[in-house]
Structure 1
Amino acid sequence: MTRSLGFAAMGFLTLVPMMIVLAAADPAQAAGFAHWLSRALSASTSAEPEIQQLFAPPQRVLRATTSFSLAALALFGITFAAAVQTGYEKVWGLEPARRGTSHARVLARHVLWLCLLVGYVLLFTNTPLRRQNVITTPLGTAGAVVITLLVLWASQRILLGGRAGWKALLPGALVTTLGILGLRVFSSLVLSPLIVTSAVAYGPVGTMLVVQSWFVGVGFVLYAGALVGRILYERAWPRAQRRRG
């Protein structure tokens, strides 16, 4: 939970501004990042306007964006990647990668992971995974689930620098994928109505608290899924070895 809180804080500090700039630069997304975040939260039509009030219009974002702010985002993004890598290393009981790897390789892995994450978020928030569309678009939902699995699988491999095998990382990717799907259902049933009631009671601060709680949930699913995956792998692998023997 402690690492999940750190993930939420750093994710909101780095990923949200980065996605706001990308959303503003995309003329096809008139609603900008607020629309993307609403899709990720499975927000209802009544909750989406409350989320939109938290963010500036895309045109204002582009006018306010400077080279210094972009450089700061890149720096914070690398720090965010390093924090997630440390979480995975703790899950697998590994030493920090910097002790045996050059800084250039570690930095390259962080940049690659950030590119993978941004690409996934852009795709994930534009797929028909709203509750009312799941039944009517099963193929699109299945495709999004497969992509989520592949991204989570590759993320562990990239950040761990190949120190854990693909086979060992697969259970964690599967569990984390199921956790993310469960989080989307929970967001639709609990967080989306809570946004509306919190906005009435506390104003934009209430909406921000719910959004931040969702980020905590994402971090918890990410780390807990990897940990459960390691437990499942270590319990299944000795059995397979004994059967072969």
Structure 2
Amino acid sequence: MAGQPGRPGRTAWLRARSAWLRARTDTLRDAPFPRRLAAQLIHIHVLDTATRLAAQVFLTAIPVLFVLAAFMPDEVRTTVSDSVRTALGFQGSSLDEVKGVLQPEGNTATTDTFGGIGILVTLLSATSCSRILQRLCERTWHLPHLSGRLAAWRWLTWLLVWLAALVIQGQVRSGFGAGDILGVFLYLITATLLWWWTQHLLLGGRVPWLALLPGALLTGASLTALAWGSRLYVPRSLNRSVTQFGPLGLVFTLLSWLIVVFTAVTLGIGIGYVLAHQGRLVRLLGTPEPPPQDEG
């Protein structure tokens, strides 16, 4: 009974905060672009979200890679290994570490250990990244959270599609053998389409396709630049870290690089929202007005 008097006060506080947020949204709608951009980036918590995404990808990617190594045919394991090597430019000792994960000895024993339940548990745990991405997209577009009952299949679908994309990433980056120039364009197109579809899927179709395009283009372009920049930074840093710290060096370097990657993703999606509400783009893209129930 002691907690009862506090409930009306909390309800009034929530209503007051909701009214303040609505007024703030209306004010920012007419504010200069830099101010709206700064408010949006603060609202989506760029570094916090990027760090959480990087940690979840790192913690769930290793089990998923083990599942791939244990259950997939040799050709698929080799393709995934080549994709990872191409994406991050693995060489020397760091390449040996990755091959040890993706092409382990005693594959039959590992398969028996995992079993069908192991695959299911691993995939379900890996959907934690999908859930964080969904919250990022919803927060970016100021939408209420989609219930787990409606979103669960979207989390798993997102994960499976991105695992399939990982398998062919190495071939895309090499332009399917035609060279790096074609590979750049193919990677840019593929990344843009994947992040365009990602936003639409995880938002539950509540935002029109065209309004999501600026965020997809920004994210695809930034990841394309990072993908080719990783060839200069990651191999040297990985080899130096692995030589000094062993497997822990691989952990430190990859986690740091993943934070950079997901900072680019968070910025791309967040800035894309602001651009979609900019001037003539609102009419051109059919961008919907922000909902009145803005969740701070």
TM-score category, normalised to shorter length: 0.7 to 0.9
CA distance in 1, matches of 2:80, 2:279: 42
Match of 2:120 among 68, 71, 75: 71
User: Which has the higher mean CA deviation after the structures are superposed, 154-163 or 187-196?
Assistant: 187-196
Match in the other structure for 1:207: 250
Match in the other structure for 1:136: 179
Q: CA deviation at 1:75?
A: 2.0
CA distance in 1, matches of 2:131, 2:67: 22
The answer as to 2:49 corresponding to 1:3 is: yes
CA distance in 1, matches of 2:258, 2:149: 30
CA RMSD of aligned residues (A): 2.8
Gaps of 5+ in 2: 1-46, 285-296
CA distance in 2, matches of 1:126, 1:63: 31
Match in the other structure for 2:290: none
Residues paired across the two proteins, number: 235
User: Which has the higher mean CA deviation after the structures are superposed, 134-143 or 12-21?
Assistant: 134-143
Match of 2:141 among 92, 95, 104: 92
Match in the other structure for 1:168: 211
Structure 1 segment 18-167 matched on structure 2, within 5 A? 18-24=64-70, 25-29=72-76, 31=78, 34-44=81-91, 47-53=94-100, 57=104, 59-60=106-107, 61-98=110-147, 103-129=148-174, 136-167=179-210
Please tell me whether the aligned partners of residues 173 and 226 of structure 1 are also in contact (alpha carbons under 8 angstroms): yes
1:11-54 deviation digits (Å, cap 9, x = unpaired) = 12223322332244121146575543222213345642344356
CA distance in 2, matches of 1:58, 1:156: 39
CA distance in 2, matches of 1:79, 1:203: 28
User: Which has the higher mean CA deviation after the structures are superposed, 192-201 or 133-142?
Assistant: 133-142
Please tell me whether the aligned partners of residues 218 and 272 of structure 2 are also in contact (alpha carbons under 8 angstroms): yes
User: Which has the higher mean CA deviation after the structures are superposed, 178-187 or 159-168?
Assistant: 178-187
Please tell me whether the aligned partners of residues 23 and 32 of structure 1 are also in contact (alpha carbons under 8 angstroms): no
CA change 1:91–1:231 in 2 (3 A) is: same
User: Which has the higher mean CA deviation after the structures are superposed, 77-86 or 20-29?
Assistant: 20-29
CA distance in 2, matches of 1:59, 1:135: 36
Q: CA deviation at 1:207?
A: 1.6
Please tell me whether the aligned partners of residues 169 and 230 of structure 1 are also in contact (alpha carbons under 8 angstroms): yes
Q: CA deviation at 1:139?
A: 3.2
Please tell me whether the aligned partners of residues 241 and 250 of structure 2 are also in contact (alpha carbons under 8 angstroms): yes
User: Which has the higher mean CA deviation after the structures are superposed, 85-94 or 57-66?
Assistant: 57-66
Q: CA deviation at 1:162?
A: 1.1
Give me the identity figure in percent: 23
CA distance in 2, matches of 1:166, 1:53: 41
SS of residue matched to 2:277: helix
CA change 1:179–1:51 in 2 (3 A) is: same
CA change 1:134–1:220 in 2 (3 A) is: farther
Match of 1:186 among 220, 229, 238: 229
SS of residue matched to 2:172: coil
For normalisation by structure 2, the TM-score amounts to: 0.70
Match in the other structure for 2:37: none
Q: CA deviation at 1:112?
A: 1.9
Gaps of 5+ in 1: none
Q: CA deviation at 1:85?
A: 0.2
CA distance in 2, matches of 1:58, 1:33: 17
For normalisation by structure 1, the TM-score amounts to: 0.83
| Paired AA for residue 188 in structure 2 | V
| Paired AA for residue 144 in structure 1 | Y
* Largest Rg, 1 or 2: 2
| Paired AA for residue 121 in structure 1 | L
CA change 1:109–1:53 in 2 (3 A) is: closer
SS of residue matched to 1:97: coil
Please tell me whether the aligned partners of residues 42 and 184 of structure 1 are also in contact (alpha carbons under 8 angstroms): no
Match of 1:15 among 56, 61, 68: 61
